[in-house]
Amino acid sequence: MAIPVHPMWGPYPRLQSDLQSVLQVIESHLQIHDKRIEATIKELVYSGGKLLRPAYTLLCAQIGDASNHDKERSIAVAAALETLHMATLIHDDVIDEADFRHGAPTVHTQQGNQFAIYSGDYLFCVCFTILSKYARTLAHLEFNARSMEKILTGELDQLHARYQIGTSIKDYLARISGKTAQLFAVSCYSGAITSQATRRQTMLAWSMGHYIGMAFQIIDDVLDFKGDFNTVRKPTLADIRQGIYTLPLIYALREQPEKLSPYLNKKADLTDDELMEVLAIVEQTKGIEKSKRLARKYIDKALKSLSKLPDGDYKETLYELTTMLLDRKM
Amino acid sequence: MAIPVHPMWGPYPRLQSDLQSVLQVIESHLQIHDKRIEATIKELVYSGGKLLRPAYTLLCAQIGDASNHDKERSIAVAAALETLHMATLIHDDVIDEADFRHGAPTVHTQQGNQFAIYSGDYLFCVCFTILSKYARTLAHLEFNARSMEKILTGELDQLHARYQIGTSIKDYLARISGKTAQLFAVSCYSGAITSQATRRQTMLAWSMGHYIGMAFQIIDDVLDFKGDFNTVRKPTLADIRQGIYTLPLIYALREQPEKLSPYLNKKADLTDDELMEVLAIVEQTKGIEKSKRLARKYIDKALKSLSKLPDGDYKETLYELTTMLLDRKM
């Protein structure tokens, strides 16, 4: 039975069916003695995530010569990269779960953390099992492992940059380049590789993925500052609370450092009211608009790389998908 | 400059020097933009761990034809497996650190956890980078990835088995087989593979490693029940506190289930005095002696596999090292 995927893929039946295969490959590699634990991990597979990264891999797997299109391999590589993404998501959850400021954790929370850490580790291994089973060469695998290292060092660098009022735009871009753009770049690049695209084409896929990832993360960071009128969702400002200073705030800090510093120096003690005052300053200084403008620029660069790739249906879908990212609300 | 290793390797200068090279390979692969973070991770490399697993890899790398002995490769494989071990150790630490029953965690603890989770993840990736750089074939790499999966599912199964009074000896052995014996088996096997040993020899290396790992974990579990007169260290009984029921207790449970159950049903609420009463029952029922006897049996099996390997200096060292494990105090 096909595993259902996010409704956004409805208009693309072929891609939709390939994404279902991606989830099936992941599912078939999850084998744990304790079936209850296996079921818990499998829930993630069925959770209806957007599967953006594997979609990019599958689409980029159509760049090269169609006769060389090794579908099984591209689906497997997409599955490996999505498994990696799931592993990091689980570990991010541990970090969030561990963030209780009020009151001690329950035993249940403790067991949850342990479970989550080992589950994430297990998924890392599954990712490498799938990769080593389907990778073309050891060199390709080494490349993937190194890319993943970069993603993790991006996360580590971000941890260390917390509560740094002096974070520059350049620091920020370097950080999201390692953390988010890297995985999008690898996803696109790996797809191109499985289609035996030319070297120039795989490099174009890489740069397209990189620019998409940059835009994706900037938009993600902007969403943390924005309410949503449809869902009456208030801005969560979770990043500022955690000391992660993202682009809208960095733009505002350039304009109004004296006004913002007293707030930010309070670090974790910032109250909800004070956070709203910070938000007001970010809005006054147009930090959100400037950020969206930069995201738009990255999308344009991505589309420029895309335009140089060979024509085909995949190209149209890549165009639509990438343009759509700018308007996403969640 | 050579990185110092544990003094236990003093009597084996060649192995000592190769173990230093193992640490150097690990160190050379640690490259993080933020040098302070890099230094923290490197401290682990310099921490003077026993390096038992890489020692077994290096010794087993001398099983095959000496002319085929690819030293660079065996050192790299040993480095990869030790990196994996370090990654799991870091994550185990998070789990212990996260175990605060009294009072909320400090911000420092939080940052420590986040840092540790990502550092462990990063080391997982480094492990695979080293492996994919030096593995002979993709099949060998897939084998390693699958082995690592088993180690993690062993940990996951153990989490789920917590506080299960009905844990049988068979359950226990299956658990430590996945968790600990697997890594020892892979360490020995991978060494043999790099020396291009025959298929029979690599299988012997595997079974030797498996038996060593079984004995190693049983002894580890026994040590949790034993004080040490030299260091006036009291038994920590950390496992029982955490609901991890190991061999000495399982033996005791077979003899005195009615006496032990009321204690164990208290789970995390067991007081220190009650723990000492549990210990007394384990001693009465000779749970510790029986466990040591089983460890001895596994060591004997390991030595039997070893005896079938080709003669050489490495064999003598393997014999000494393996016999020594029975008497370790920490």
User: What is the pLDDT at residue A254?
Assistant: 95
User: What is the pLDDT at residue B106?
Assistant: 30
Each residue of B223-244: pLDDT tens digit? 988 865 555 456 678 888 888 8
**Inter-chain contact A95–B111, Cβ cutoff 8 Å?**
no
* 3-state secondary structure at position B228: strand
Higher pLDDT residue, B70 or B20? B20
User: What is the pLDDT at residue B99?
Assistant: 42
Higher pLDDT residue, B160 or B278? B278
How close B171 gets to chain A, by Cα (Å)? 11
Counted across chains A and B, CB pairs separated by less than 8 A come out at 177
Q: Indicate whether B7 belongs to any domain.
A: no
Percent of chain B whose pLDDT exceeds 90: 55
User: What is the pLDDT at residue A218?
Assistant: 96
Which tokens go with A211? 């620019």
| Chain B residues near residue A122 by CB distance under 8 angstroms | 149, 152-153, 156
Distant-in-sequence contacts of B67-75, Cβ < 8 A, 24+ apart? B68/B195, B68/B196, B69/B194, B69/B195, B70/B194, B70/B195, B70/B196, B71/B18, B72/B134, B73/B134, B73/B136, B73/B194, B74/B191, B74/B194, B74/B195, B75/B18, B75/B21, B75/B22, B75/B25
- The CATH number assigned to the domain holding A164 equals 1.10.600.10
B34 vs A118, A121, A157: nearest CB: A157
Each residue of B164-186: pLDDT tens digit? 888 899 999 998 998 899 999 99
| Chain A residues near residue B37 by CB distance under 8 angstroms | 153, 156-157, 159-160
**Inter-chain contact B133–A138, Cβ cutoff 8 Å?**
yes
**Inter-chain contact B33–A124, Cβ cutoff 8 Å?**
no
| Chain A residues near residue B79 by CB distance under 8 angstroms | none
Q: Torsion angle of alpha carbons A151, A155, A156, A159, nearest 10°?
A: 170
A101 vs B91, B104, B122: nearest CB: B104
Phi/psi at A233 (5° precision): -80, 130
Q: Indicate whether A283 belongs to any domain.
A: yes
Interface subset of B 162-181, CB within 8 angstroms of A = 162, 174, 178
User: What is the pLDDT at residue B227?
Assistant: 64
Q: Indicate whether A88 belongs to any domain.
A: yes
Dist CA B314 CA A186 (whole Å): 43
Interface subset of B 258-297, CB within 8 angstroms of A = 268
10 Å Cβ neighbour count for A112? 17
**Inter-chain contact B105–A128, Cβ cutoff 8 Å?**
no
Chain A nearest-CA residue for B132: A142
User: What is the pLDDT at residue A117?
Assistant: 85
Determine contact, residues B225/B289, Cβ cutoff 8 Å. no
User: What is the pLDDT at residue B136?
Assistant: 77
Chain B nearest-CA residue for A126: B149
Which tokens go with B53? 């697993």
How many Cα neighbours within 13 Å face the side chain of B19?
25
Residue A162, by phi and psi: left (phi above 0), alpha (psi -120 to 50) or beta?
beta
How close A228 gets to chain B, by Cα (Å)? 30
Q: Indicate whether A3 belongs to any domain.
A: no
Domain ranges, residue B310:
12-325
| Chain B residues near residue A241 by CB distance under 8 angstroms | none
How close B110 gets to chain A, by Cα (Å)? 7
Q: Torsion angle of alpha carbons A19, A20, A24, A25, nearest 10°?
A: -20
Q: Indicate whether B330 belongs to any domain.
A: no
Domain count, chain A: 1
User: What is the pLDDT at residue B221?
Assistant: 93
Q: pLDDT tens per residue, chain A (330 residues)?
A: 688 899 999 999 999 999 999 999 999 999 887 777 788 788 878 877 899 999 999 999 999 987 767 889 999 999 999 999 988 888 877 766 544 322 333 333 545 777 888 888 999 999 999 988 888 788 888 888 888 888 888 888 777 778 888 889 999 999 899 889 999 999 999 999 988 899 999 999 999 999 999 999 999 999 988 865 455 456 678 888 888 899 999 999 999 999 999 999 988 888 989 999 999 999 999 999 999 999 999 999 999 999 999 999 999 999 999 999 988 765
Kindly indicate the confidence band of residue B108, based on its pLDDT and cuts at 50, 70 and 90.
very low
| Chain A residues near residue B95 by CB distance under 8 angstroms | 113-114, 117
Query: Where is average pLDDT lowest: B1-10, B121-130, B134-143?
Result: B134-143
How close A39 gets to chain B, by Cα (Å)? 13
**Which of A153, A162, A177 is the best mutation test for B, with the most CBs of B within 10 A?**
A153
| Chain A residues near residue B174 by CB distance under 8 angstroms | 33
Interface subset of B 123-152, CB within 8 angstroms of A = 124-126, 128-129, 131-133, 135, 137-138, 141-142, 144-146, 148-149, 152
Q: Indicate whether A165 belongs to any domain.
A: yes
Q: Indicate whether A101 belongs to any domain.
A: yes
| Chain A residues near residue B36 by CB distance under 8 angstroms | 160
* 3-state secondary structure at position A228: strand
Dist CA B12 CA B8 (whole Å): 9
**Which of A93, A118, A267 is the best mutation test for B, with the most CBs of B within 10 A?**
A118
| Chain B residues near residue A120 by CB distance under 8 angstroms | 117, 121
Interface subset of A 1-40, CB within 8 angstroms of B = 31-34, 36-37
**Which of B152, B163, B242, B270 is the best mutation test for A, with the most CBs of A within 10 A?**
B152
| Cβ–Cβ contact A94 with B under 8 A | yes
Chain A nearest-CA residue for B98: A110
User: What is the pLDDT at residue B18?
Assistant: 96
pLDDT higher than threshold 90 for residue B150: no
Which residue in this structure is represented by tokens 């699958």? Answer: B146
Among the listed residues A235, A197, A164, the one whose alpha carbon sits nearest the alpha carbon of residue A70: A197
Each residue of B192-231: pLDDT tens digit? 998 889 999 999 999 999 999 999 999 999 998 886 555 5
Interface subset of B 218-247, CB within 8 angstroms of A = none
How close B236 gets to chain A, by Cα (Å)? 21
The mean pLDDT value for B153-157 works out to 81
Q: Indicate whether A8 belongs to any domain.
A: no
A91 vs B100, B121, B160: nearest CB: B121
Dist CA A56 CA A38 (whole Å): 28
Dist CA B33 CA B223 (whole Å): 41
